[in-house]
Amino acid sequence: MKIVFHRDYCRVYSSDPAAAPGRLEAVLEELRGYEFVEPRSASEQDLELIHTRDHISRIKELPEIYYVALLAVGGAIMASEIALLGEPAFGLIRPPGHHASPGSSWGFCYFNNIAISIERLRRMARIKKAVIVDIDLHYGDGTANAFTGNPDIVYHHVALGGSEVFLSDLASFLNSIHECDIIAVSAGFDRHAEDWGEMLETEDYREAAKMIKEFSEEMWG
Of residues 188, 126, 124, 178, the one with CA closest to residue 154? 178
Dump pLDDT digits (tens) for 127-167: 999 999 999 999 999 999 999 999 999 999 999 999 999 99
- The catalytic site residues sit at 99
Query: What confidence category does residue 107 fall into, taking pLDDT thresholds of 50, 70 and 90?
Result: very high
Q: What percent of the chain has pLDDT over 90?
A: 95
Q: Residue 186 in contact with residue 143, Cβ under 8 Å?
A: yes
Mean pLDDT confidence for 64-74: 98
Number of compact structural domains in the chain = 1
Query: What is the DSSP secondary-structure string of 127-175?
Result: -S-EEEEE-SSS--HHHHHHTTT-TTEEEEEPPPSSHHHHHHHHHHHHH
Query: What confidence category does residue 64 fall into, taking pLDDT thresholds of 50, 70 and 90?
Result: very high
pLDDT of residue 23: 85
pLDDT of residue 29: 85
Query: What confidence category does residue 98 fall into, taking pLDDT thresholds of 50, 70 and 90?
Result: very high
Mean pLDDT confidence for 52-71: 98
Number of CB atoms found within 10 A of residue 215's CB: 20
The pTM of the full predicted model, rounded to 2 decimals, is 0.96
Which residues, 6 or more positions from 52, have their beta carbon under 8 angstroms from its beta carbon? Answer: 102, 103
Phi, psi of 90 (to 5 degrees): -125, 120
Mean pLDDT confidence for 58-68: 98
Whether residue 115 has pLDDT greater than 80: yes
Dump pLDDT digits (tens) for 27-42: 888 898 999 999 999 9
Q: What is the CA radius of gyration of the chain?
A: 16
* Residue 19 to residue 43: CA distance in whole angstroms: 22
Query: What confidence category does residue 26 fall into, taking pLDDT thresholds of 50, 70 and 90?
Result: confident
In angstroms, the first-to-last Cα distance of the chain is 16
Query: What confidence category does residue 221 fall into, taking pLDDT thresholds of 50, 70 and 90?
Result: confident
pLDDT of residue 131: 98
Whether residue 109 has pLDDT greater than 90: yes
Q: Residue 152 in contact with residue 129, Cβ under 8 Å?
A: yes
Give residue 141's domain range.
2-220
Mean pLDDT confidence for 104-129: 98
Dump pLDDT digits (tens) for 170-192: 999 999 999 999 999 999 999 99
Which residues, 6 or more positions from 154, have their beta carbon under 8 angstroms from its beta carbon? Answer: 129, 130, 131, 132, 177, 180
Q: What is the CATH number of the domain that holds 182?
A: 3.40.800.20
